[in-house]
Amino acid sequence: MMRDTKFDILFEPLKMSNLTLKNRFFMAPIGTTFHMKQLSDFLAERAKGDVALITTGETCVHPGGRAGAGQEEPRLETDDDIKAFSPLVKAVQNAGAKIVAQLNHAGRYSSSRALQQQPVAPSAIASRYTGETPRELSTAETDDLVMAFAEAALRAQKAGFDGIEILGSSGYLISQFLSPVTNKRDDKYGGDTLQRATFLFSILQETRKKVGDDFNICVKFDAEDSMEGGRTLKDSILLAPHIVSAGADRLHTWAGWHEATRPMLPMFVKRGAFSHLAAEIKKVVDVPVSTVGRINDPYVAADILAKGEADLIGLGRALLCDPDFVKKTSDGRTDEIRRCTACCYCFDQIMRAIQGDKKAGLKCSINPELGREGEGLIRPAEEKKNVVVVGGGPAGMEVARTASLRGHSVTLFEKDDKLGGLVNLAFVPPHKGELKNVVDYYVRQMEILPLKVRLGESFTEEEFERIKPDALVFAAGARELLPRIPGISAEHVFTALEILKDDIPVKESVVVIGGGLIGVETAEFLADRGKKVTVIEMLKAVATDVGPTIRWGLLARLSKKISMLTSTSVIEIKEKSVVVSDPEQNRKDIPCHTVVIATGLSSRSDLVEPLKMRDTEVYVVGSCVKPGQIADAVADAFEVGCRI
């Protein structure tokens, strides 16, 4: 298949004096919870996918600056750490990519729990990110940390890396020195915009002395740190040429700290949202400038380069989701890309690990092989079987995909006239359009794989007798759970899923019963259509089933659009109101014309029991077992597909 000529710009080489890249894509740094062999397999798989350059996740330069993502946190703190990286570096380079180590000290983003000592920072100013107040570094300690970075860079060079990236963004130690919010020092490391950069300049200068000119040095920094009273784009435009003069070969721009109040990661942030920042920096320097953030589509990437906003495109979560993103783009198979949905499931899992959950680890909601690349999970089946999958949602299609790749003969039944299941409604609410990526990917897989899809057909007893499957997989989804509330059968009462089909005439005022994800998203859907909406939730808070990376932004939007009553029970639904009760048993009427029920989903186990008596393998996956997140459904389905 011929690729679109618009993409040619993405595959032009980029030459620097000490590094040549085969195309304009690089893997942006992402911290993981992986042990070294697992990390090596993970990165090498992305290199096989034709990305030109891979940047490792944060690699510690000093024991007092570890970010706290587990015992396997990569480090180049001593010469003994060099040998651990050499196999990883060779694996990536042998797979066709260059690789650089991102060097970091977390500063006040470390925690005393992880360090077993008080974290350090430029000044003793509390962190909203950790809730702790760090100890101020002395001048001598800061001098030592300059050398710690430089020595770690030399170790990276000895390990075979093609360069390094110095992490001066996101709220970690170097960015703490750069910011007037966190740097109140009166020694040589404090002062105005350029004086606060002395720490970074010193690191660059000492590093260049150690590694020489034939070693690529990149600096990642926030073009805006998005902190109140923090560093602005104007400051960065002043700063950028001095970073280059101090020794940087490349600049990698980002958009804010972890504790910033500007959303940067969720799907309600537009694609390519931060390329304009790179464009402004690119105007004042003569080295390559890269951009990253919400780039999950090659057309977005090509447009950024065509407009001259950046020289390199960073892919972070996009490569977690699909290691072959670049190769598929190069081959003209963009319709086969498993595009990131920006659901932030990956970040939620990392945050759980940082907070001490030993069972948590980096995962992707729709790539169940993430972190397991070296296990060879999709193996040819020892015995080819006739497999029937009932249900064409993500779980059903994932089972069908995996089983087909293993050589089984697969037939998928879907009673509706299109594939996708409930996800077809999940991308209807405001700011949820990226979830359509899930349906698009799986539908395309169903088209290109050697399997049969039978739309608009239920799987019946007659079909069972005719096909005589060796294995039967139920992925028939879930149904809405209806509570026993007086008045629930009235004509003005609808379910959330009925509302999201957008064919219900909803009147001016609405009460939504249930403040979970489905409830609040349906409420926002209605509010954006001019309805006056009140959400009623029994729990103390709404959206408790939403991950923390997205939840705060969702709640900020909802607070401006709808009314929310928490710790409130529904007693009765009347013709023009809903009767509710607060924790003190005080009752009141909430006026409304329409009532929406969003009290959860229940499994479809009733469909399964009759066929468990048959002489065939029976599996149940996805919401058919337990309604939950797409991530759970896909992971469960993948395991079944590998097991049949």
What is the mean pLDDT for each group of 10 consecutive residues in the chain (644 residues)?
93 98 98 94 98 97 84 89 97 98 97 91 94 96 98 98 98 98 98 98 98 98 96 98 98 96 93 98 98 98 98 98 98 98 94 83 96 96 97 97 98 97 95 97 98 95 92 89 96 96 90 97 97 98 94 94 97 97 94 96 71 80 76 96 97
- Measuring CA to CA, which residue among 324, 287, 318, 282 is closest to residue 301? 318
List of domains in the chain: 5-373 (3.20.20.70), 378-480+603-643 (3.40.50.720), 493-599 (3.50.50.60)
pTM of the predicted protein model: 0.95
3-class state of residue 390 by DSSP: strand
Element (H, E) at 314: strand 312-315
Residues of the chain by 3-state class (helix, strand, coil), percent to 5: 35, 20, 45
Q: Is residue 292 classed exposed, middle or buried when 0-12, 13-18 and 19+ CB atoms within 10 A define those classes?
A: buried
Integer Cα distance of 199 and 206 in angstroms? 11
Q: CA 162 to CA 153: how far, in whole Å?
A: 11
Structure tokens that stand for 327 in this block: 């190769």
**What whole-number distance in Å separates Cα of residue 357 and Cα of residue 169?**
26
Alpha carbon distance 332, 528 (integer Å): 38
Fill in the amino acid letter for 448.
Answer: I
Strand partners, 513: 536, 597
Calpha distance 521→526 (Å, rounded): 9
Beta-sheet pairing, 135-136 with 386-390: unpaired
| Chain mean position to CA 476 | 27
Structure tokens belonging to residue 420: 């996708």
Closest listed residue to residue 121, CA positions, set 109, 131, 104, 103: 109
Write out the two tokens for 412: 């998928």
Is residue 365 within 8 Å of 381, Cβ to Cβ?
no
Three-state DSSP string of 17-36: CCEEECCCEEECCCCCCCCH
Phi, psi for residue 8 in degrees, rounded to 5: -55, -35
- What is the phi/psi pair of residue 166, to 5°? -90, 120
β-pairing, 135-136 vs 312-315, is unpaired
Nearest to 293 by CA among 262, 324, 323: 262
306: which 2 tokens?
């065509």
The first and second tokens of residue 301, run together, are: 């990437």
Q: Report the alpha-carbon distance of residue 34 to residue 300 in Å, rounded.
A: 30
**What number of other Cβ atoms are within 10 A of residue 347's Cβ?**
21
Strands 14-16 and 19-21: antiparallel
Q: How many C-beta atoms lie closer than 10 Å to residue 126's C-beta?
A: 13
| Residues facing residue 413 across a β-bridge | 390, 454
- pLDDT of res. 610: 63
Question: What is the b/e burial string over 257-282, where b = at least 16 CB atoms within 10 angstroms of the residue's CB?
Answer: bbbbeebbbbbbbebbbbbbbbbbbb
Q: What is the pLDDT of residue 491?
A: 95
- The per-residue pLDDT for 625 is 62
Angle at 84 between CA 75 and CA 377, to 5 degrees: 105
Token pair listed for 493: 């009462």
List the catalytic residue out of 109, 129, 172, 345: 172
Residue 619 annotated as catalytic? no
Cβ burial, residue 344 (10 Å; 0-12/13-18/19+): buried
Residues 6+ apart with CB under 8 A from 334: 3, 4, 298, 299, 328
**Nearest in space to 269 (alpha carbons), one of 253, 256, 278:** 256
Task: Answer whether 102's CB lies under 8 Å from 29's CB.
Answer: yes
